[in-house]
Amino acid sequence: METEPDRCAVRIIAENRKGVLRDIAAVVADHDANILMISQETFDSGPYAGMAELYFEYEPGPSDNREQFSRELNDIPSVHEVKCYQPFGNIFGSRVIIIGGGAQVAQVALGAVNEADRHNIRGERISVDTIPLVGERTLALAVDAVSRLPRVSILVLAGSIMGGEITKAVDRVKDAGIPVIALKMAGSVPEHADLVVTDPIQAGVFAVMHISSKAVFDINRVKGREF
């Protein structure tokens, strides 16, 4: 069984100008490290106004000299601050995303958060994210974005009616390897989901149980069924 690579995380505050990413990437390459995820943000106000934050998680190279790695990043003239952290996966773990109507989302979240709490007390790390939305295009865009979010392990669609462009987005999320649970609802989304659940609280519980390393529930064993 293939294991996940060891991850390290670093946050860099640097001048927002051309060539900074090139210089940082050169240091990463010199240490034979492999960037696994990266995000960048510029600051318009506050103590870092006019500067940029670069956060990335990486797999260390064979030498794994993290102190030297940090020193060389700090030596880049445009870099003002370098700090190392634990990667998000160690802190927040796997991620459940719940999208749909406010009342249904709240009920799914109730089940997911309670079930996640039961597992996290035993040492797991499962986080739950929600966003209540309305409108076919808005929902389709949100569903499509799920595959671009870090740490996402499962998607739950909670609503009264979903179809059209949302259904196409569901297929794309599944193609990206993310399973989809849908509440029983009108529209074509339930026909394309991996699992359809009538009770929203139970849908949240199922979602967490599927991604838990300790639970025995596997959505692949009941794929296409309705509960």
The ranges of the chain annotated as CATH 3.30.70.260 are 8-89
Degrees, nearest 5: CA angle 31-36-40: 95
- Give the model's pLDDT for residue 7: 87
pLDDT by residue for the chain (227 residues), tens only, comes to 344 558 899 999 999 999 999 999 999 999 999 999 999 999 988 888 889 999 999 999 888 888 999 999 999 999 999 999 999 888 888 999 999 999 999 999 999 999 999 999 999 999 999 999 999 999 999 999 999 998 999 999 999 999 999 999 999 999 999 999 999 999 999 999 999 999 999 999 999 999 988 877 888 888 878 88
What pLDDT is recorded for position 42? 92
What is d(CA 206, CA 201) in angstroms, rounded to the nearest whole number? 9
Could you count the other beta carbons within 10 Å of the beta carbon of residue 184? 15
Residue 51's CB is within 10 A of a number of other CB atoms, namely 19
Query: Computed from CA positions of residues 159, 163, 166, 171, in that sequence, does the dihedral angle turn out positive or negative?
Result: positive
Alpha-carbon distance of 221 to 224, in angstroms, equals: 9
Report the CATH fold assignment for 8-89. Alpha-Beta Plaits (3.30.70)
Distance CA 187, CA 191 (A): 8
- Count how many Cα atoms sit within 13 Å of the Cα of residue 97 in the half-sphere of its side chain: 22
CATH 3.30.70.260 fits 93-221, yes or no: no
Q: Find residue 158's DSSP bridge partners.
A: 100
Give strand pairing partners of 31. none
Q: What single DSSP character describes residue 45?
A: S
pLDDT at 3: 44
- Biggest CA-to-CA distance, the chain: 59
Beta-carbon contacts of residue 58 (< 8 Å; ≥ 6 apart): 7, 8, 9, 10, 28, 33, 34, 35, 36
The secondary structure element, H or E, covering residue 94 is strand 94-100
The pLDDT score that the predictor gives to residue 5 is: 56
- Quote the tokens at residue 172: 């794309």
pLDDT of residue 2: 40
Cα first-last separation, the chain: 32
Dist CA 24 CA 79 (whole Å): 9
* Closest C-alpha to 183, from 168, 162, 208: 162
Residues 6+ apart with CB under 8 A from 46: none
Instruction: State the span(s) of the chain assigned CATH 3.40.50.10550.
Output: 93-221
Looking at residue 192, its pLDDT comes to: 95
pTM over 0.75: yes
- Cα 171 to Cα 164: distance, rounded to the nearest angstrom: 11
Picking from 149, 203, 139, 193, the residue whose alpha carbon sits closest to that of residue 171 is 193
d(Cα 201, Cα 108) in Å, to the nearest integer?
5
